[in-house]
Structure formats: structure tokens, C-alpha cells
Structure 1
Amino acid sequence: MGGENTTYPIIMAIDWGTTYSSMAYAYQQDGEVHEISTWPKQSHNYPKVPTCNLYGPGSKEILEWGYTAKAAMTKPPYKHHILLSKYKLHLDEASGPHTPLPNGLTVVDVIADYLRLFHAHVLQTVLRGFGSAFEQQHIQYCLSVPAMWTDYAKAIMRQAALQAGMITPLDPPHRLLLISEPEAAALYCEKKCDQFSIGHGERFMICDAGGGTVDLIVFEVAVSPQGRTLREVTRGTGHSCGSIFLDERMEGLLRQKFSKWGNDRPLTPANWVQLMDTFIHNIKPQFDGVDDQYLSMPAVPGRADLTDYDIGLEDGVLTITAEEMRREVFDPVVDDVLRLIQHQLQQTLFNCQAIFLVGGFGCSGYLLTRARSEFSSMVRVITVPPRPELAVVRGAALAGITPRVVQARVARRWYGVDSLMAFEVGVDLPHKQVQDHEGQIRAKDRFSVYVAPGQQIGVDECITKRFVTYQYPKPISSPLYASSSLTMPRYVDGPMVEKIGDFTIPLPHIPGAQPGHKIMFELRMYFGATEIRAEAEVNGMVVSTRCQFTG
């Protein structure tokens, strides 16, 4: 509970990832960031836990999560159960359409199920460390989200956190902060600016390459007596080309090799799991593009002699040459990442002094080698910071402690509302012509622009427009529209324009006003934060309003 100015003594940051999730926390008083590295049924200390849920056949009730869920699937009693993973990709509209989730589950359900069990574990661990001085209501949450996500996808995350019991409908909105993943990583890497001599007016790129998504933004550093601040200088870009796509390509390569065995004593499902685990944990992180790779084969039922020279298998060891590994597995995915980096550099007119590779895929030595060979003539520093897989979660915790480091962001799309405007003969479509309440000829459905793509917006910057309503005393419903069009949209029902949500503005009591009277109001929009918010001023009274985003 509490108002808009409530501060919370504990910050809990969650990086909910496609393949793995992590949590870091900080105590406001000392600002030190800690992460959790012990998880149920974990075989070794590692600060991440698998993002997966276990459900029974036909059931909507989650049974297990994380390492426990993965371990259960190897046991015979669970062979008909469902292990759900990689469902974060369902929130990336660009990578769809997606196969419906099983058992009638929705994306909000499975995210909320996971967050509820994940949160229960981390909450117990954190509060145990603080003794009896604190309880859950003393925690503020920072949840990282891909910068490429739509406003609707972000709204789903907020809804899932609510459904998981992390926050309540009565909490002020800022109790749960959403922060973009590359921005969180930038807050982490900002601490390294002195080490790499990145000074006032200089720029660095964050390439956050995770399991599912790769997100990139360039930030400019400003140094003043008050400290260092950052501002976005490019429109962030992102794509689903994370390291799980290496896994998919590797599995495709192996299936192609072993397809010649057909149904004659083929590999079992357990064999496939073991082979892919070897690739994911041993080969993928170490691959440098130079050395051939050797996979030790698990025991295959009915095959005593594991030798097949046609596919490079000898005495139970499968050889895959470095050239084949590059061509078939790594290069198609790495090339996608390099194209995204190139696009960001073009936006800066190649004025960028450093590139930081972060995230699980950001640890890849081969990705670093390729990035350096491609861009080192243009960019002074291309590096992987310490503990890159924790850059996002640790940065998200820093965002809760020092929330004003990033001063400005860059809009990715056109945002606007529908409005009546002066009708332009020969320009406006004839069927858009209407007469307003005062007898003026107007064009309906015009796209009234609040923000243009590429526009830099301060985090607290308010963009105001004046409107008229004749609906009093009914609430005003103001739809919000967005477009990725290269040119300014003219109409809200035009091509490439989509309605992304509705703002409902309750009208206060206005002395002397009659139903249907002309009422002037100001609609103020704030686009500088990770989530859009709005307020209206009617007759000198300010009414806050939340947007209901639609998919």
C-alpha cells in the first residue's frame, strides 16, 4: 500500500528470461546488490534457474518449476506430463503466429504460475537474510522486459505479476517498475565507463543477447557535478535470434546426420536430451570458430558398436568440424546479431565508442570474435563485461536504487489519438467529411500525433494536447493508436495503424455544466518511461488514468 511517493527499503529485481531466470536484490540504505544462486534441486551453484513449468496431463495446475520440473521429466511416472518452456516467445508478436499452449493454458496463466513459485522461493531466501525487520510489503519490484516488446506484452507482464501475488491492485503503480533489458544492462555497464575511458558526450552500445531475444540500444554519457547520466540516442531494435536458435540448428544438424539410421535402433528421446545437454553446456559456450568439436555419444539401446564413418562417428565420439559448426549452426544466428549491431551503428552515423555484449549468448567467444573482426575499425572498445549473464538483473536492481540515471529515451513508433481536424479539400478522403457541433466542416478519424519515431523524450516529459468533448457527464474513452509507418499516418484506420489501448477519463463534477455541454480538457501523455501513462486536466482538476492495452 502507499501513495505515489512511497519508498521501499528493499529492491527485488527479476530477469525473467526465455530459457533461464534470475533475481538480484538490494537494500536501499547501502545500495549493495546481491543475487541468489541457490535453487531447489540444483546440482551446482549457479545464479540462474530454468524458466520451465511442469503440468499434469490435461491439467492447468502447475506441479513443479525450474530444476525440479526438469528433473521430474526424466522419471517414468512423469512421461505423460507436459514441460513448458520458451513460452516467453509468445509475447514477441513479430515471431508469431504461435501454437496455442496445451491444456487450455493462457500465456498470462503460465507466466503467473512460474512467477508465483519463483517469487515464493526468492522471497523466503531474501527475508531470511533480513531477519524479522522486513516483510513482503517492504519490497519494490523491478522486472526487466525486452525493449522490442509491444505495450500489450508489457501489460501482460504486469497482469501476470498481479496474478502471481507479487503486487496487489491497491499498490501504487511504481511498486512494480518495468525496465527494458538493454537499459538495465546499461546501468550495469555504466559503472565500467571509467575503466574503458568513456567520457562526457561519448556513446556505448548495449547488445543484450539472451536465450530468446537480442536487444540493442546506444546510450550517450553525460558527466556533471551531480554524477553520470545516460540518454538513449537510437531507436532500440531487437529480434528473436538468441541462443536457443543455435540449439534448434544444432538439433537439426544432428537429426540430419542420424536420419540414415532410420528406424534401425534409432536414438531414444533420452539420448537426444543427453546430446543436446552436451551441446548447450559444453560446446556452445566454448566454441571459438577454430577448433573441431567432439560429442561423446550416450549408450544407444541395441547398438554395441558406435562407429559410423559416414557421419563422422568413431568409437562413440561424433566429430563435427569447425567449418561445419560455423556454417550450419553458428553463422546464420550470429549474422543476424551482427546485422542488428550494424543497424544501430548506422543510426549513430558510426559515432559510438564502445559495444558491450551481455546476456547468456553475449558470453559467446565466437560472437565476440565475429563482432571484433566486423566492427573494431569503427568502434574503439568491443568487450564482454564481468559476469555478463547477470548484467540485466543486477542493472535492474540498480534502477530501483538510482531511478534517474537514464534521462531520456527514443520513441520507436508513432503514437497518437483520433481527432477531428480541418477538412482539406483534395487531400482528405470525401467520406471522412463531417460537420462538427459548431457547424464547421471537419475530417474525422485523423491521427493526432503525440510522438514520432526517433523523437527523444525526457523521462518526465509531458506532451499535452487540448480537446473538446460533448459527452459530459459520461467518462471520455480515448483510444491510443500506434504505427511503425515510415511516414506520418493521416487516419487512425489507415494502413499500418493499430489501436493499442484505451484511456478512460472519468469527468469530475463541474458546477453549472449540463449533460451534452461543451467541455474543454487537456490530455497529458508521458512516453518517457518503459510504460506509457496519462492524465487529464478538466476544469482545473487533474485526473490520472491508466491505459488498458489490447493485443
Structure 2
Amino acid sequence: MSTTATTKIALKHKIIVGVDYGTTYTGAAYVSTKECGLSDIVLISTWPGPTRDTETVFKTPSRIAYPADNPRISSKRWGYQVEPGMTAYSWTKLLLDNNTPLTEYDDSALNKASGAGILVLPEGKTAVDVVADYLGEVYSHIMNTIAKQITEQTLSLTPIEFWLSIPAIWSDQAKAATRTAAERAGFGCSLLRPQDTIFMINEPEAAAITALEKYTRSSRGGSVKPGDGVLICDCGGGTVDITTYLVNQTEPALKFEELCTGIAGGKCGSTAVDRRFYQLMSERFGDAFDTLPMKRKGPGSDFMKRFEIIKRDFGFSDEQTIFGIPINMALSVPNPCHFDDEERLVLLSSEDLKEMFDSVVEQILNLVRQQIRDANAESGNGVITRIILVGGFGDSEYLRKAFHHAFEAGSGGNITITVPDSPQAAIVQGATLRGLEGFRCSTRRCRRHYGFSWGIPFRQGFDKENDSYIHPFTGEKMVRGIMNWMIAKGEKYSEGHTCTVAVTHSASTRQISIPLYSCDLQYAPERNDEPAINRIGTIVSDLSNIDLSGFEQKVIGGVVNSNVTYTLKVIFGAKEGVLKFKVVCQVKVIGKAMINFTTDMVHSS
């Protein structure tokens, strides 16, 4: 085929790539826009490294090792390339959202895990640095895999649309941090590939796209019909996301909307079971276990690989069993009930595992119960007809049985519990489908209140004198710190929804700085100094290109101040996956608006 013909074909089509970067494992899939649908999506099933158990694996471990910590390697190792004995960094994804306070549903052992040497970072690197390094290796592998299928030349000419999945519970800072890391890793537009783009999709929505596509096209497990409420329980390694959707139509195309505000979720995924395992080991063996190097007991070690197999199979049998996990520890007086000194085995009973699972599973069930209550309050009792379990932990038989006993018919409920084929792949398939066929949730529910703090005329007998000030232009007595909530928690919005706020800014500089606030309570307080209100960051814009002579001006303290009126637009639900901002003054968009997050993260829009 000639170069000209190849160029025409490449420009006519594009490639959609879905990426599911998880706390414990990462998956990817791709498809060409000339293909038809779910059956055409190619799951990447070959990942490099000697530690994988089989030739075909649909996900690779989310871990990375550096030469600085491992003298016997000369370059970064990632995924299955990280061998037992290497010092590696795992669960780093959770650190991207490190500034979000723990909720009642978060794993109480999460903060203690850093003390066990897991949620740590290399010296001199941030979480974004480590994630970018890891995703850079994933990006290279994805590109090499696609190149083998379509040739390097065709790939170089074909635009790629990347869809990265993110937890729905992610804070705005964490979403921006994830996008920054992905861009630094090579995803999206670059000098070498200026035609590429990067978008983000919430993990439950991606899972819903896959699951609803399957269950509305097939009668296996009972088909989903218009009017059904479907709860997606995405149980991953680090996070659990609960979102409920109402199916509006299945033919000729699938349409669905978010039924009620998604539950605030929690960091209580399958790694919470691992953390309880570490706690048990520490309680039983003390310093003998605690002082072991992480390369012998951390994620990816032979010790934890054996525990992972036991954890994955737990629930298939009710038989009481004693499991042995090899590890060499120096114990002065070993308890034969917990350690086989001759074989050097940690001994775990079925009851031990049950205790590790039960507290985590109960947290997840409570999340689901709360979401069902919210859905019933919104649309009437019985609106949810199906719960679909997805994600790595969603494949747990113990978890599935717990859901069956809690919600399914015959157990006091009337909700069907289903686990789709390859639940670990549901998210990455859905992310790819989102780009391929444009499947999307028609309307979403805002997960928190967003707004700004204003000054309003002082209300005598109501406002505090300490909060008062005199307006420099009008001389009127005002009160500061009053919240103007532009979008409320639970409010419906569609993709690209724009909230517009008229602002008057009195200052002597041309740089505008406006704090943006959020609140997770059902009903947001009036003042910005309430403990429940979080300052997300500061929106910054430049008025340098604006003629200020048309605005009222006044000399204050020997400095000319301008009373500038402009419009601030905040865009929710953008495909880019982050908040976007525009400042309009004198009927034109001025400069660039960006937000300086409280994490010192900066994202331009």
C-alpha cells in the first residue's frame, strides 16, 4: 500500500484506547472507530515481566521499582517486571487523593498502612511523579502493542483518543493530579503526536456502559428493561464506588441517567483486606514480622502472592481449612497455632480470613444500603431491581454471597445480584466503548455543592461585627464570607454543563483570584468558615488585555482601584474530566482561567 493511501486511511479513522489505572492492577484496551462495538474491543492480554503466572493476563500490577533502591537493576521496572526481593512502590494511586478526609466508610487501617511501608514515596518524588513514571511505562507498552497490529507507520498517522477511568469519589484535586500524571506519561496531545486527545470517565459509569450493553443485548442473567434502576457497585483494589442509574431506553440505542447522587464511596477495596492481614501479622508476631523488609512481605512478594491466591478463592467452600503461607521469621517461642516453625509457614484459619473479610464487606454493604435508601427517597420504593458487581474485588465469591444474603429474593429483598463476565475488565471496556460509540450517561447528579464566597449588605442583628467591612466604592457596610452556591449536591447536569456567575471585583491589580469552595453535606451552610466547607483552590485570571477606563475608578490609599464587572463560567461534566473555567469581560473571553489547588497542583483550561 502506498504512503498516500496509508495516510488517507489513518486520517479517516482513529483509535480509541481505554485505560483503567487501579490501586493494585492496571488494564488497557483499544479499538478502531471503523469497528462496531463491545465484541470488537481488544483487551491487552500480554504484559511484560517474569513474575506473571501465565502468558495471558488482562491486567498488570500497579507497582514500580527504581534503580536507586535496587542496585542490581539499571532501569525502572514495572508491573510483572518487579521481582520478589525488589524495593518497589505500590498503592500510589491512593496518594493522589491524600488530602481528602477519610469518610465513615473508609478503611480505618488506611493511615496505618503507611507505617507498614506501603503507602510511601521515593525520596524526592511526589505521588504525581511516581504515577507519571508508572503510566509512562504503560503508555509505551500500549503503543508498542498497537503498532504490532497496524504497523508503526499507520500508528504514527492515526489519531488516538485516550479514555482514562477515575474513581467517582475522587476530589477535584485528585482528578487534576491524575490527568497531569497521564499527560506527563505521554497520553494525549504532545509534540510527537499533536492529534491525540485525553478524556476521563468515572469508573462506575464506565462499568455501567459495559454491563448495560451486555444485559440489554442479552437475556443471560435476565435482561435489563427501560424503567429499571441498576446499582453499579465498583469494588476495586483501593476504592469502592456506588452509583445508580435509571435505564430510559434500550432500543435503538441505550440511554440511561444517574438516578440519585452517588454515595460518597470509600477507600475500602480489596487492599483493606490486605491491611487487616498485615495488622493480624503484626499483632501475632510483633517485631519479628514488623522488622521484615517490605521486599519480603510487601505487594508483589512471594508472601503476598500466596495470600492473594487464598484471598481470591475464599468463599467457594464452607469447609474449615488451615492455610499455610511461607515466610522466614525469627521467632523465639513460636505459637504452633499460628506458625509452623519446621516448615516456616504462617498459619491462617478460615475464621481468620472471615474476620478480615467481614469488616470490609460490611462497610461495602452499608454503602449500598445507603444508596438504596437514597434511590427509594428519590424515585419510590423498589426502584432498584439489579445490583451489578464489578472491579477486582467484585469477583470475590465471599462478597457475592454476602450481597445475595443481604439483598436478593428470599433474603428479605427483591434485587437481582449479577457479576458480568470478566468483572475486572468491565471498566476498561466501558471506557473504550464511551469513545467508540459515544455511550454516556445523559444526566449526572452533582456529588457535592460548589460555590464562591461573597460580600453582601450587613444584616443588623444577624451578622457578626467581626465579619463586617465598608465597601471601598459604595461606602456601604457589608458582611464577608457569605456563600453563593452555584450548583447544589444532587442537582442534575449534563455533559459540559456551565454555571455562570456575575462578579464585581474591586482591586488595584489586574490579576483576579477567587477561592472556589465545596461541601459534601446534604444542605450546605451559609458561611465559608463552617468546618464542613472545603476550600478546593483559587481560580486565577488575568485582566491585562481589558480596558479598565470603562469601569468606575477610585483612588484608595494613593492607589487607583477599578470596580470591574465580569462573568465567571464554571464548566462541569467536561469530557476532560476536570473542572474548566472561563472569564468573560466586555463580551469577550479574557486570557486563561486556571485553578491553583490547595495541593499546589495547577491545571489550566
State if a TM-score over 0.5 links the two structures.
yes
What's the offset of the Cα at 1:68?
A: 0.8
Instruction: State the match for 1:35 in structure 2.
Output: 43
**Where do 1:424-503 residues align within 5 Å?**
424-436=459-471, 437-471=473-507, 474-503=510-539
- Alpha carbons 1:362, 1:384 under 8 Å: kept: yes
**Deviation of 1:528 (Å):** 3.0
* Matched ranges for 1:276-291 at <5 A: 276-288=304-316, 290-291=318-319
* TM-score for both structures, normalised by structure 1: 0.86
Task: Select 1:345's aligned residue among 372, 375, 378.
Answer: 372
Deviation at 1:173, TM superposition (A): 12
Further displaced range: 374-383 or 152-161: 374-383
The secondary structure found in structure 2 opposite 1:501 is: strand
Alignment of 1:526-541 (within 5 A): 526-529=571-574, 530-541=577-588
* Contact 2:17 2:31 (8 Å CA) reproduced: yes
Query: CA 1:177–1:425 in 2, change beyond 3 Å: closer, same or farther?
Result: same
Instruction: Tell me, yes or no, if the aligned pair for 2:96 and 2:128 is still in contact at 8 Å.
Output: no
Alpha-carbon contact 2:232-2:243 (below 8 Å) kept: yes
Distance 1:319 1:109, change over 3 A: closer
Contact 1:267/1:300 (8 A) holds in 2: no
Aligned to 2:127: 107
1:124 and 2:105 correspond:
no
Q: How far apart are 1:472 and its partner, in Å?
A: 8.1
Give the CA deviation at 1:416.
Answer: 0.5
Whichever residue aligns with residue 183 of structure 1, its letter is: E
Cα distance in 2, alignment partners of residues 518 and 407 from structure 1? 40
Paired AA for residue 522 in structure 1:
T
Aligned match of 1:223: 249
Deviations 1:105-149 (A, max 9, x none): 210110011011111111111122122222287112111111111
**1:473: how far off?**
7.6
Aligned twin of 1:51: 62
Aligned-pair identity (%): 28
Contact between 1:434 and 1:444, CA under 8 Å: does it hold in 2?
yes
Q: Distance in 2 between matches of 1:162 and 1:475?
A: 27
Contact 1:233 1:456 in 2 (8 A): no
Distance 1:423 1:294, change over 3 A: same
Secondary structure of 1:192 counterpart:
helix
Report the alpha carbon displacement of residue 278 of structure 1 after superposing the two structures with TM: 2.1
Deviation of residue 439 (structure 1)?
3.0
Residue of structure 1 in register with 2:166 after alignment: 145
CA contact (8 A) 1:222 1:229 kept: yes
Residues of 1 paired with 2:309 and 2:524: CA distance? Answer: 48
Counterpart contact for 1:211–1:360, Cα < 8 Å = yes
Cα distance between partner residues in 1 of 2:582 and 2:492: 21
- 333, 356, 362: which one pairs with 2:360? 333
- Aligned amino acid, residue 232 of structure 1: E
Residue number in structure 1 paired with 2:433: 398
Do the aligned residues in 2 keep the contact of 1:26 with 1:397 (CA within 8 Å)? yes
Find the counterpart in structure 2 of residue 238 from structure 1.
265
Structure 1 window deviating more from structure 2 (60-69 vs 455-464): it is: 60-69
Q: Which of 184, 201, 204 is residue 206 of structure 2 equivalent to? A: 184
Q: Name the CA shift for 1:338/1:451 in 2 (closer, same or farther; >3 Å).
A: same
Query: Per-residue displacement from partner, 1:487-518 (whole Å, max 9, x unpaired)?
Result: 32222233222221222233343496367444
SS of the aligned residue for 1:388 comes to coil
Distance change >3 Å, CA 469–CA 311, structure 1 → 2: closer
Match of 2:101 in 1: 94
CA offset at residue 224 of structure 1?
7.4
Unaligned runs of 5+ in 1: 1-5
Please state how far the C-alpha of 1:274 moved relative to its aligned partner. 3.5
Q: Give yes or no for contact 1:143–1:396 (8 Å, CA) kept in 2.
A: yes
Q: 1:256 to 1:506 in 2, by over 3 A?
A: closer
Distance 1:167 1:59 in 2: 31
* 1:175 corresponding residue in structure 2: 197
**3-state secondary structure, aligned to 1:395:** helix
1:221/1:229 contact within 8 Å kept: yes
CA distance in 2, matches of 1:384, 1:478: 46
Cα shift at 1:361: 0.4
Q: Is the 8 A contact 1:472 1:519 kept in 2?
A: no
When structure 1 is superposed on structure 2, of 433-442 and 470-479 the one drifting more is 470-479
In 2: Cα distance, 1:94 partner to 1:413 partner: 14
> What does residue range 60-79 of structure 1 map to in structure 2 within 5 Å?
63-69=76-82, 71=83, 73-74=84-85
Q: Give runs of aligned pairs for residues 16-27 of structure 1, distance below 5 A.
A: 16-27=21-32
Cα deviation, residue 270, structure 1: 5.1
SS for the counterpart of 2:249 is: strand
CA distance in 1 between partners of 2:447 and 2:438 (Å): 22
Count of matched residue pairs: 531
Change (3 A) 1:475 1:7: farther
Aligned residue number for residue 228 of structure 2: 202
Q: Compared with structure 1, are the counterparts of its residues 500 and 396 closer, same or farther at alpha carbon in structure 2 (3 Å cutoff)? A: same
Verify the 8 A CA contact 1:210 1:359 in the aligned structure 2: yes
Letter in 1 for 2:567: E
What is the aligned partner in structure 1 of residue 598 from structure 2? 550
Deviation at 1:320, TM superposition (A): 4.7
Are 1:509 and 2:507 counterparts? Answer: no
1:421 matched residue in structure 2: 456
Distance 1:138 1:546 in 2: 27
CA RMSD of aligned residues (A): 3.4
Q: 1:405 and 1:302 mapped to 2: Cα distance?
A: 56
Residues 450-488 of structure 1, C-alpha deviation per residue, up to 9 Å, x if partnerless? 111122222232222222234588142222111224432
